[in-house]
Structure 1
Amino acid sequence: MHRRFSDAIVALLSAMMFSRVATAQELHQAFGPGEQSLYRVQYLGVTAGTAQITVGAPMKQWGQQVWPIISLAKSDPVIGAWPIKDKFVTYWHAGGQRSLGSDFFVDENNKRRRQRIQLQDDGLTAHVIKQQEGAEPVEATHEVPAGAMDLASAMFALRNRELVEGQEYTYPVFTGLKSFLLRAKVDGRQRMKTALGEREVFRVKFQTEFSGKLQAQRDIVAYITTDPSHVPVRIEADFVLGSIVAELSEYKQGRLVAMNDETGG
């Protein structure tokens, strides 16, 4: 049960990160530094943990100005003796509407590992470093499709799009091991009770290409507010390892800045 929930938490973060992608067209400002979203996570119908996503203060990474977008997944202590505290950081370049790379820190059952991805300037390669706790790092260079995004940058880019009902968006995604094409379709609108009150939301369906325990049994569905902030308020996913629901419980809006502001590089 606990190992399966560990996999489910990773899948949840992936689903949340997949919920938004974009090109550099038809953009508006949806988020900024200081934004924080907290989600209650249910696995197989039982509250099993939380996921928190924060847009951090501007900083330098690889010589460029970025916003670190930090995703934290924690298991609930009451579910048992398999503690989970995973952290994913993507380094968002606001001016370019892309990520320069990411760090993934995995802490599960007191075993730790990390993965760093640095997307190269040519846009066609990525340098990946993986390291198990107590072991030497393993480095590799991968070819990636032009315009490839990591999971979190894909998540935030779509929020800056003018979403259109019935429109489908397809984008290349690189996970650190494989590349695949993400498909997202705005399926419609509806009213929904949320932690923000009753809101109109877009219902967006996503198709991924995970395999094994993370293979989706049906389309991942995200409900995203139709207001300019495009806040995801609920995400539903059915994987081979079980069903997951993430529901927004708290939200704090960030500081909106122009996309050509110096904080974007």
Structure 2
Amino acid sequence: MRLEQITYFLSVAEHGNITAAAKSLYISQPALSKQITLLEQEVGLPLFERQARGVVLTQAGVQFQKDLQNILKELEHAKKNAVLAGRAQKPLLNIGCFDGSYADDFLPSVYDYLKEAASGQKLVIHKCNFLEGHEYLEKGKIDLWLTLAPSWQDRPGFLKKKIAWRKGALIYSEKLQVGKKENPTWEDFKDETCVLVKKSQNPGMFQHTLDTMELIRLDEGTIEVVENIGTQISYVKLGRGYCFLSENIIHGSKGLRCISLPGERGIEVVAVWSEKNAAVTNLMENYPI
């Protein structure tokens, strides 16, 4: 299988039409059809189901698309590091951080500290989801993983340090019916939908949210599951429900409101790294909390 064939397959999958895909790739339709046929022969299974107006992925094709997209992402990651390593005379310090503006309250201070404390290294930030961050850390693709405490399960061989704490809150939009109230209470949200990031992406945060719902007696309400924090926040802004995040998320977000959670209910932000990485251990031991 060649990289060219991967590109061809993904283009056809995206367009759902071989003719449209061929046009976007600047090759002839027969040539593209032939490459797809050769690829299916190599895999040993049909990847597309031919229909009158185009093609749709088979079940095998859906899985193949997902795996190839991950491979291309890995290739881009390798290319990025190779380019940076080639340009930089300093060794790289790869830092992984969960994606979205939800990291803006702590990431700049961590970056400033490391920029000064590790002045002999070039810092590279990799934005990734929780599953990717765990995988990249375990495989040594990043040196330091910045994440939410409930998302990380302690395991041998890794060290952890608290770098920030966030006061938890119920986040909602003025577009909700209850959002029109001046001072809504927990009880007002019992008929609204709670938006959660799906359990497979972050089991710890999923359970943390369920525990919070039980704490304030909203655990019998409706739940809608989404792919990531970015989508979660977008849904809340659109008035599709509420979510549990930190109070800081509403800063600068027009139309968002919050109700602080009771007591010390909140979430720690932690840095995680391999205990074998003595240089990072030294850096994080001296990080001011």
Same-fold call, TM > 0.5? no
Pairwise TM-score range, normalised by the shorter structure: under 0.3
TM-score, length-scaled by structure 2: 0.20
Structure with the larger strand share: 1
Larger radius of gyration: 2
Higher relative contact order (CA 8 A, sep 6+): 1
